[in-house]
A and B are shown apart, each in its own frame.
Chain A
Amino acid sequence: MSNTTQLLRFITAGSVDDGKSTLIGRLLHDSKSIFEDQFSAISKTSEKRGMAAVDLSLLTDGLQAEREQGITIDVAYRYFATPKRKFIIGDTPGHEQYTRNMVTAASTANLVIILIDARRGVLVQTRRHTYLASLVGVPHIVLAVNKMDMVDYSQARFDEIVTEYKKFAAQLELHDVTCIPMSALNGDMVVDRGDKLDWYQGPALLELLEEVEIDHDVNTSDFRFPVQWVCRPQTEEHHDFRGFMGRIEAGEVSVGDEVTVLPSGSTTKVKEIVTYDGKLQTAFAPQSVTITLADEIDISRGDMFVKSSNHPPKVEKEFEAMLCWLSETPLDKNRKYLVKHTTRTAKCLFSRLFYRVDVNTLEPHEVDKLNMNDIARVAIKVQQPLVFDSYEIDRATGSFIVIDEATNNTVAAGMIA
């Protein structure tokens, strides 16, 4: 690995039996990321279950309870690397809790692989997965048309599926969609190109994962810095040091830039950008840094620095959002919840439920209650103003979670409209 290796996070989505586990197993195996002890464990299991060949899908099997039931229940993370990139795979199984799991895994992903069985083509589930990917704003989408071996590696069949899929994807304004024909079972067009799909000119899956441009997946234009922690060493050596620690969520900042502190609106200049490895002239997202300011202003965790010359964020106590309900206990409109947005936590109320989206048809429905896996457009009132952008512009400052104070559970994920 060189010192320019980048990190790419991706997830896989597909219906049960489309070949998700086989595909991940194939990626790991053919990129030589499987260890011998892992391989011998799954060989043994395959043998025990009376299978002729080693079942690569067993590699992504998780917890004991699931092994007993033969199903996966949650999001699991796996890792592999090639000389070009390091990869984090969020593995989300397909079953009834699917919306919740996929939204969770997709929230940190650069890319989603949506699997289709070439025999079955674009299904309701394919639309659902694509809608969820667009809702959560995953920047890159790969349509993996799997099991091409079952349709004689037919180009006509592939083209037919792609045409239908692109028509649907156009409605969702997806910007970057790549369609790849493959056989996860035989390893065609996953890591190696194989010799059955010569008519296909595009990249094999791994090649795409290695090459896709991800520098612009974070917002690079408007500086956003939520204050996480105020550093006051109060030692002799650093007597007057007062640094604001946090991670730059978007854009970049330089020493001397004028910044506005929100929600108060005070302005000052950046005096220093401090890191353990020395002072910086300029820092950019997603670096974690410490900023000192030219003037003494009352600042605490939850405040946000923005560049005065940049497009300003909104500072409001009421806003609308798309909400994905994650909890088994339905939303109660009469109750107060907590919203955690960047580094600020505030009490909130859901003042209106506008409509619920049917994730299969994308049609809006009337709604007065939200159950687990429901996605709805809502209006929220918060006790203190939040400093935010719309999710479409900035995933970091446009997202929030909802916490139920009674149980402390995370009950919803929100994307500000």
Chain B
Amino acid sequence: MSSHIFTHLDALESESIHIMREVAAECKNPALLFSGGKDSIVMLRLAEKAFRPAKFPFPLVHIDTEHNFPEVIACRDKLAADLGERLIVRSLEDSIKRGTIVIKDESKPRNPFQSVTLLETIAEFGFDACMGGARRDEEKARAKERIFSFRDEFGQWDPKNQRPELWDTYNTRVHAGENIRVFPISNWTEMDIWEYIGREKLHIPNIYFAHEREVIRRGGNVIPVSHLVQPKPSEKVEVATVRFRTVGDMTCTAPVESTARTVEEIIEETATTRITERGATRMDDQTSEASMELRKKEGYF
């Protein structure tokens, strides 16, 4: 045993594979939520490690806000096609047409509405388990969430009524109409993700690497200019060298100024960065310290 070196990445990887196989074995109709972002790309590699040489025993599902960066959507489609796996895309537009989502302002983030379309998609396909790439180090509310996180019929999470999770023996049982969210990479940190991307040579959208981009500065944040975010008359557009640490809704995902053009350079930068991933880049989470927790209770991932 002592002759083998089992690193922290090996340990995390094995844990995640074990979790995915439990889901496949015990849940009737699982899905893997896949956005084309770095965490979900890591999830795909873990699923390959868990199930090859067979196909995945679940489809990939993306809830598209239509506020996504085109580079990320391209990466999503290419990866799913290269792997030969089934990709289901459901869009917030579908819910808007159905009238279950009412948008007042096109330029506002759509993250708060994602849960509506997600729950509709869960109902459409009858999924009883959705695996997602959330990590506990992202946010305080997540730090308390179980790996197998139980949701009631309304998709709600009750932080006070979570099932105790012991050893690696997971309770996957649900009644009809209920479902669970499963977070196989709960114990990974941002650093682990980058190290794994480097080790596995994973292909990720190029906007994670430093590039030149038109931005405006608004309320202390750097905001990318896009068809959704246009400068106000008083604002000046500048070209900055930036990269994204997360790639969510275009209207609220701020890039960080960086010159890191390779995974190694990002790892180095991450090691010395003094601001959390969400703190740096997710404007919607900054609004209130408790905003993520409120959204989770409403069924957001």
Q: Which of A61-69, A115-123, A177-185 is near enough to bind chain B? A: A61-69
A83 shortest CB reach to chain B, Å: 10
Beta-carbon contacts of B107-148 to A below 8 Å, as 1s and 0s?
A: 000000000000000000000000000001100110110000
Q: Does the CB pair A64–B53 fall under 8 Å?
A: no
- How many positions in chain B have a CB within 8 Å of any CB in the partner chain? 66
B151 shortest CB reach to chain A, Å: 12
Report the bound CA distance from A340 to B167 in whole Å. 12
In residues 1-39 of chain B, which contact A (Cβ within 8 Å)?
Answer: 1-2, 4-15, 17-18, 21-22, 24-25
B51 within 8 A of A: yes
B257 shortest CB reach to chain A, Å: 15
What are 25 pairs between A and B in contact, CB < 8 Å?
A3-B5, A3-B199, A6-B8, A35-B273, A35-B275, A62-B140, A62-B143, A63-B140, A65-B160, A67-B289, A67-B290, A74-B162, A76-B143, A107-B166, A220-B1, A233-B54, A284-B4, A287-B10, A287-B14, A340-B169, A399-B167, A401-B169, A408-B171, A408-B174, A409-B171
Q: Does the CB pair B136–A77 fall under 8 Å?
A: yes
Using Cβ atoms and an 8 Å threshold, which residues of chain A touch B173?
Answer: 403, 405, 408
Q: Which of B58-66, B75-83, B185-193, B240-248 is near enough to bind chain A? A: B185-193
Q: Does the CB pair B169–A399 fall under 8 Å?
A: yes
- How many positions in chain A have a CB within 8 Å of any CB in the partner chain? 77
Q: Does the CB pair A79–B189 fall under 8 Å?
A: yes
B250 shortest CB reach to chain A, Å: 22
User: Which listed residue (A61, A100, A216) contacts B1, Cβ 8 A?
Assistant: A216
Give me 14 other A-B pairs in contact (C-beta within 8 A), A5-B8, A35-B276, A220-B1 excluded: A41-B289, A61-B140, A64-B290, A67-B289, A77-B187, A79-B189, A85-B8, A231-B54, A245-B50, A247-B17, A401-B166, A408-B173, A408-B175, A410-B171
Given A36-B274, A408-B171; A78-B14 close (CB under 8 Å): no
B164 within 8 A of A: yes
Beta-carbon contacts of A268-287 to B below 8 Å, as 1s and 0s?
A: 00000011110000001011
B165 within 8 A of A: yes
Report the bound CA distance from A81 to B7 in whole Å. 13
A380 shortest CB reach to chain B, Å: 15
A351 within 8 A of B: no
Closest 7 pairs between A and B when the two form their complex, measured CB to CB: A37-B279, A233-B54, A7-B8, A288-B17, A64-B290, A276-B49, A408-B173
Q: Does the CB pair A233–B166 fall under 8 Å?
A: no
Using Cβ atoms and an 8 Å threshold, which residues of chain B touch A74?
Answer: 144, 159-160, 162
A25 within 8 A of B: no
User: Which listed residue (B136, B163, B175) contacts A79, Cβ 8 A?
Assistant: B136
Report the bound CA distance from A410 to B161 in whole Å. 11
Q: Does the CB pair B1–A228 fall under 8 Å?
A: no
Q: Does the CB pair B187–A81 fall under 8 Å?
A: no
Using Cβ atoms and an 8 Å threshold, which residues of chain A touch B192?
Answer: 86
Do most interface residues of chain A lie in helix, strand or loop, or is the interface mixed? mixed
Q: Does the CB pair A410–B164 fall under 8 Å?
A: yes
Beta-carbon contacts of A181-200 to B below 8 Å, as 1s and 0s?
A: 00000000000000000000
Task: Select from chain A the residue with minimum beta-carbon distance to B276.
Answer: A35
Task: Select from chain A the residue with minimum beta-carbon distance to B173.
Answer: A408
B168 within 8 A of A: yes
Interface centre among B50, B140, B175, B273 (most CB of A within 10 A): B140
B294 within 8 A of A: yes
A301 within 8 A of B: yes
A252 within 8 A of B: yes
Given A37-B276, A104-B166, A399-B167; A233-B55 close (CB under 8 Å): yes
B48 within 8 A of A: yes
Report the bound CA distance from A287 to B143 in whole Å. 25
Using Cβ atoms and an 8 Å threshold, which residues of chain A touch B298?
Answer: none
A378 within 8 A of B: no
Using Cβ atoms and an 8 Å threshold, which residues of chain A touch B15?
Answer: 286
Report the bound CA distance from A238 to B52 in whole Å. 10
Using Cβ atoms and an 8 Å threshold, which residues of chain B touch A64?
Answer: 141, 290, 293-294
Report the bound CA distance from A396 to B169 in whole Å. 9
Beta-carbon contacts of A370-394 to B below 8 Å, as 1s and 0s?
A: 0000000000000000000000000
A209 within 8 A of B: no
B93 within 8 A of A: no
B195 within 8 A of A: yes
Using Cβ atoms and an 8 Å threshold, which residues of chain B touch A246?
Answer: 21
Report the bound CA distance from A103 to B166 in whole Å. 8
A108 within 8 A of B: yes
Q: Does the CB pair A5–B7 fall under 8 Å?
A: yes
Using Cβ atoms and an 8 Å threshold, which residues of chain B touch A410?
Answer: 163-166, 171
Q: Does the CB pair A228–B144 fall under 8 Å?
A: no
Report the bound CA distance from A36 to B7 in whole Å. 29
Using Cβ atoms and an 8 Å threshold, which residues of chain A touch B165?
Answer: 104, 410
Task: Select from chain B the residue with minimum beta-carbon distance to A340.
Answer: B169
B171 shortest CB reach to chain A, Å: 5
